[in-house]
Amino acid sequence: MTLPVAAPAIRTDLYIDGRWRPAQAGDRRPVINPATEEVVAEAAEGALADVDAALDSAKRAQPAWESLPAIERARYLHAIASHVRDQLEPLARLVVMEQGKTIAEARGEVGGTAEFFDYFAEFARRLEGELLPSDNRDEHVMVLPIPHGVVVGIMPWNYPSVVCARKAAPALVTGNTVVLKPHEETPLSALALAAIADDIGLPAGVLNVVTGPGETVGEALVADPRTDYVTMTGSTEVGKRILEAAAKRVLPVSLELGGKAPFIVLADADLDLAVRSAVSARFMNCGQVCTCNERTFVQAEVYERFLDRYLEQVRRIRVGDPFDPATDMGPKVSRVELDKVDAIVRRAVADGATAVIGGDELRGDRYERGFWYAPTVLTNVRPGMEVMEREIFGPVSPVMPFESLDQVLELTNSSPYGLSAYLFTRDLSTAMRVARDLEYGELYINKIGPEQLQGYHTGFRESGVGGDDGKHGLEGYMRRKTVYLNYARQQ
């Protein structure tokens, strides 16, 4: 099955046990194009009965999937990657239609989806256990990697394709079966992935997709005893609810949550590089990235020079039709998210900040329909303001001067978040000090993201527990079983 992404409206069902089926209650939810407010699909609205069917399917399929040699599981992953590449353009258009990012960003996302499946497939021959010496004669101690069983992946709306691959690929290669719950605003890319899995003949029940609201479908998936592991990317608030529910079952989880990434520019930095990087890191995907430059700190000696160049580049950002290759930034994903960002900016201005660029919704003929917010730069911000403490998740950039490295380290480390951070300096000693003392799971020095497959994407404090990517992310999808093997001949 290939989704007809050019159609004006796509009716989508749930993918459970290798079959497409409507939600048992028959409910559907419109999927809205953020740039036009047109309904591009009617997605099935799953409920408890659908969760039950999906988990039952995944539980039944898991022993046979685990029993396959890992290299055979990897062949399915490579086949998925190949099909994703073959359909890159329609899949990218699907991302644009449901999420609103530019077509260039969407193509990059779908390319990353394929890369995740290929990358984790290559671990098939490297799922290593250990053989240890025993204290006793004629005996070995074996520590074996085994899958959890059924993995539930709860997806965000900002990267609806690649995060599915980020969760599903390592889970599948290690022998788990998977139930994906995409965000209700952006279910189409996950369903497209299910269609590809169906096309390549992935065994029934190994990958299931249940669409529907987090308050019912998501919570039921986490609470169900058939769920053996939960991996989620989303807001800190939702992550805390998942962690609380998981604690009742002592259920292992991996949570990649909110961020408030500091972007630190020291006086000795390459200012042109820092400015270009700050703009990209703030306004990519309309600022809807957990690793985005959420607050820019510039050392006082170069603050005015940095700000002048920064404002010049922000003014050049072209906001418009995300399918137009000349567009730099698309719309916010929804009216609710647009209103959240607008409210944060209004409160910041009321608290003394100055919107030197933007500060409001975009209006006029080009923006008559859709969820458009102007690229915004705020000055006269200070520590303690909401806009400097709370995740904005939109195209709003507070910029603040600082005096010393000690001051900015104290400011950034006092945040409840600890996901990503950025540092621009030419001094290696300073860079190494910040790498040691900055309490964030991910630090970019003289560069920006995205993060790379072989790294480890993890956050400290309220930015989450566990992590994704690389061998350390893969480890989370396995448990370790210790076997004491005595092979002495019995008399």
- Exposure string over 246-260, b if 16+ CB within 10 A, otherwise e: beeeebbbbbbbbbb
User: Which residues sit opposite 467 in a β-bridge?
Assistant: 458
Residue range 6-14: mean pLDDT, rounded = 63
d(CA 482, CA 476): 17
Radius of gyration, CA atoms only, the chain? 24
d(CA 131, CA 482): 10
Q: Please say if the pLDDT value at position 2 is more than 60.
A: no
Closest CA to 149 of 61, 53, 76, 210: 61
d(CA 211, CA 483): 40
Q: Which amino acid is at 37?
A: E
d(CA 491, CA 488): 9
Q: For the chain, list the domains and their CATH numbers.
A: 10-257+464-481 (3.40.605.10), 261-456 (3.40.309.10)
Q: What is the pTM of this model?
A: 0.94
d(CA 389, CA 387): 6
Q: Please say if the pLDDT value at position 1 is more than 50.
A: no
d(CA 179, CA 57): 9
**Gap between the terminal Cα atoms of the chain:** 62
pLDDT tens-digit profile of 176-189?
999 999 999 999 99
Residue 3's pLDDT band, with cuts at 50, 70 and 90, is very low
pLDDT tens-digit profile of 36-77?
999 999 999 999 999 999 999 999 999 999 999 999 999 999
Active-site amino acid positions: 256, 290
